[in-house]
Chains A and B, each alone.
Chain A
Amino acid sequence: MKCERASSEDLVKSLKSSGDAVRACDIMVERYYERLYWHIRRIVVLHEDAEDVLQDTFVAAYSSFEKFRGDNEGSLVAWLYKIATNLSIRALRRRRTSFFVSVDSVRNVLRADFEGEITPSADEIAVKLQRAVIGLPMKQKLAFNLRYYDELPFETISQITGQSVSTLKTNYHYAVKRIKEEVTQIEL
């Protein structure tokens, strides 16, 4: 596809020149929709919610591109992930039972949703891993998902979550520890 051949710098440049914003946004959708979809899906669990959040992510990126200060693909990816993450958390907040409880309070709801979202052909280990990941607190979950599944460097994750690299490493370490414990517990 023609748009996939455009280099990262060209993409950022064409996104920044207002005349090409729509075309550039189309390229952005083509390039990142799948990655972002899975990132969002791992947070909100339901396909319909993930689809809504993904659309909102691209609309928000289109509408506020003038606020984007980066000039390379790394910063563009971090910016898109940041929007997607914030909108996913906002979607989860809407599912809370009370305004005063943390977003982590929807973990049980997400666990129940996940049981209905498992594909019959799913690998058993992958299912166990996802169950354990869904049970993590949001900060640990984000650190784990972005590092393990999206394979982003901690510096980029730091830009996305607004946490320091050392905090992220700690969160990731605890996440891995908890996942190991939970998977082992299930197996026993």
Chain B
Amino acid sequence: MPYRLPEDGLEVTRIRCHAAVKRAEAECRVRRRSYRWAVSLATVVVGVFVVLAGLEYVGRDTEFTSPHYEKLMSMMENAPVDVVYDMSVDAVEYYEDVSML
């Protein structure tokens, strides 16, 4: 070919090509490591968010919205006193024995 070449011919070009591939490989490794770090960080953030959301869900006041509950409440409110008393006695043992007082 009639083209002018540097004194060393293409030797430097060859070496530069090898160096360019090595550089690309190193950059690729750094990029891969950064990607792995980013994925780990994102996983931790999502995990913490899920845990916090779970704790918040468990800790909140329980609300009963069931219609059976409403019905039961109204029955309890309108029930005669002795029935309520009997039910309370069933639930908690009151020691009414004179000797205990």
Contact = CB atoms under 8 A, between A and B. Distances in A.
B4 A117 contact: yes
A38 B5 CA distance: 11
Interface residues of B, number: 19
12 contacts: A22-B21, A22-B22, A29-B14, A33-B14, A33-B17, A42-B1, A56-B20, A58-B17, A62-B24, A119-B2, A119-B4, A130-B1
Interface string A28-51: 011001100110011001010001
A29 B17 contact: yes
Contacts of B3: 41, 45, 47, 117-119, 122, 130
Contacts of A54: 13, 17
A155 interface: no
Contact of B13 (A33, A62, A63, A122): A33
A112 interface: no
Contacts of A4: none
A127 interface: yes
Nearest to A130: B2
Interface of A: 21-22, 25-26, 29-30, 33-34, 37-38, 41-42, 45, 47, 51, 54-56, 58-59, 62-63, 117-119, 122-123, 126-127, 130
Contact of B17 (A38, A55, A123, A126): A55
Contacts of A29: 14, 17-18, 21
Contacts of B36: none
B25 A22 contact: yes
A64 to B, nearest CB: 11
Nearest to B14: A33
B46 interface: no
B33 interface: no
B80 interface: no
A148 B6 CA distance: 25
Contacts of A62: 21, 24-25
A30 to B, nearest CB: 8
A47 B14 contact: no
